[in-house]
C-alpha cells in the first residue's frame, strides 16, 4: 500500500455504499465527485478515461489500480483490511451469506432502481412494473432481517448497500409502511456514525 485510496462518487448515488464502508473502517481516502451527465470529474478530468463504463463508484487502490462494481469494491475494502465483522472469514458459511446479500442487492434491487432514474423509461411502466418489483424485493428483505442488521447483531457489507437502496425508495416515495422491520432497520442505520458521517460528507 503506497498512497491513500481515492473514490470517485456522485452525490447520493450508489457510490455512497463504499463511502460508508470506508468510513466504517476509518480508512484514509480522497473523494472526487463526478458529473454523470457530462462525464467530467470535479477537477476537470475526462471520467470516461478513468472508467470507460461511465459510472460510479470507481475506487483507485493505494497501489494505483482501478476497481469498479459496487459488489466487488465492498469485498475489496473488507478483504484488504482483514475486517471480519463486515465480511466473515472464508471458512465460515456466513461469508457466503454476506456475499449472497450483496449480490441480491446489486442485481435485484440496484438494477431495478436504474429504471426509475432513467428519464426515457415510460412512467406507466415504472408504476406498473418497476415499483411493484422493488416492493416485492423489499418484502423479501423485510421478512429476512435477522436482527438490528441484516445478518443479526453485526453491521456487514450489505447493510451499507441496502441503506442506499432504502434512501432511494424514500426519494421516489415508494411506500415502505407495510414493511415494518425495514422501517425500523432504516432508522437504526440512520444512527450509525459511519452513515451519519457519509451523509454529511455528501451534503445530504
Ligand atoms: N454495475 C455498477 C452500476 C453502477 C451504477 O449504476 N452507477 C450509477 C450511479 S448509482 C451511475 O454512475 N450511472 C451513470 C451512468 O450509468 O451513466 C455497480 O454495481 O457498481
Cα 95 to ligand 1 centre (Å): 25
Q: 55 CB less than 6 Å from ligand 1?
A: yes
Q: 149 CB less than 6 Å from ligand 1?
A: no
On whether the CB atoms of residues 190 and 148 are closer than 8 A, the answer is no
Cα 56 to ligand 1 centre (Å): 5
**Span 108-127, average pLDDT:** 96
3-state SS assignment for residue 134: helix
Q: Are strands 58-60 and 66-68 parallel, antiparallel or unpaired?
A: antiparallel
Q: 133 CB less than 6 Å from ligand 1?
A: no
Q: Which of 36, 54, 55, 168 to mutate to test the pocket of ligand 1 (most atoms within 8 A of CB)?
A: 55
**Span 95-100, average pLDDT:** 98
Atom from ligand 1 closest to the CA of residue 34 = 12
Q: 36 CB less than 6 Å from ligand 1?
A: yes
What is the pLDDT of the chain when averaged over all its residues? Answer: 97
**Span 63-78, average pLDDT:** 98
Percent of the chain with pLDDT over 70: 99
**Span 130-157, average pLDDT:** 97
Burial of 182 (0-12, 13-18, 19+ CB in 10 A): buried
Instruction: Note the pLDDT of residue 3.
Output: 81
Cα 130 to ligand 1 centre (Å): 17
Residue 2 confidence class, pLDDT cut points 50, 70, 90? low
> Could you tell me which residues come within 8 angstroms of residue 165 by beta carbon, excluding any fewer than 6 positions away?
105, 109, 110, 113
Q: Would the pLDDT of 102 be above 90?
A: yes
User: All 3 cell numbers of residue 14?
Assistant: 450508489
**Span 60-80, average pLDDT:** 97
* Cβ atoms within 10 Å, residue 37: 7
- How far is Cα 202 from Cα 122, in angstroms, rounded to an integer? 30
The backbone torsions φ and ψ at residue 157, rounded to the nearest 5 degrees and listed phi first, read -50, -50
pLDDT digits (tens, 9 = 90+) for 146-204: 999 999 999 999 999 999 999 999 999 999 999 999 999 999 999 999 999 999 999 99
Q: Would the pLDDT of 103 be above 60?
A: yes
Residue 53 confidence class, pLDDT cut points 50, 70, 90? very high
Instruction: Note the pLDDT of residue 9.
Output: 98
Instruction: Note the pLDDT of residue 34.
Output: 98
Q: Would the pLDDT of 1 be above 80?
A: no
- How far is Cα 160 from Cα 102, in angstroms, rounded to an integer? 10
Amino acid at each position: 500500500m503506497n498512497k491513500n485510496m481515492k473514490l470517485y462518487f456522485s452525490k447520493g448515488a450508489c457510490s455512497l455504499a463504499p463511502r460508508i464502508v470506508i468510513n466504517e473502517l476509518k480508512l484514509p481516502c480522497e473523494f472526487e465527485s463526478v458529473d454523470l451527465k457530462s462525464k467530467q470529474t470535479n477537477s476537470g478530468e475526462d471520467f470516461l478515461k478513468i472508467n470507460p463504463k461511465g459510472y460510479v463508484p470507481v475506487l483507485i487502490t493505494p497501489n494505483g489500480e482501478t476497481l469498479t462494481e459496487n459488489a466487488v469494491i465492498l469485498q475489496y475494502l473488507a478483504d484488504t483490511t482483514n475486517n471480519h465483522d463486515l465480511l466473515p472469514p472464508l471458512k465460515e458459511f456466513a461469508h457466503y451469506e454476506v456475499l449472497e446479500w450483496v449480490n441480491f442487492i446489486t442485481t435485484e434491487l440496484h438494477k431495478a432502481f436504474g429504471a426509475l432514474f432513467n428519464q426515457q423509461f415510460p412512467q406507466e411502466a415504472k408504476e406498473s412494473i418497476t415499483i411493484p418489483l422493488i416492493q416485492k424485493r423489499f418484502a423479501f428483505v423485510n421478512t429476512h432481517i435477522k436482527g438490528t442488521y441484516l445478518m443479526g447483531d453485526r453491521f456487514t457489507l450489505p447493510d451499507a448497500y441496502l441503506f442506499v437502496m432504502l434512501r432511494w425508495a424514500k426519494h421516489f416515495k415508494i411506500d415502505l409502511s407495510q414493511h415494518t422491520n425495514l422501517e425500523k432497520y432504516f432508522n437504526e442505520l440512520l444512527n450509525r456514525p459511519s452513515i451519519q458521517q457519509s451523509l454529511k460528507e455528501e451534503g445530504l
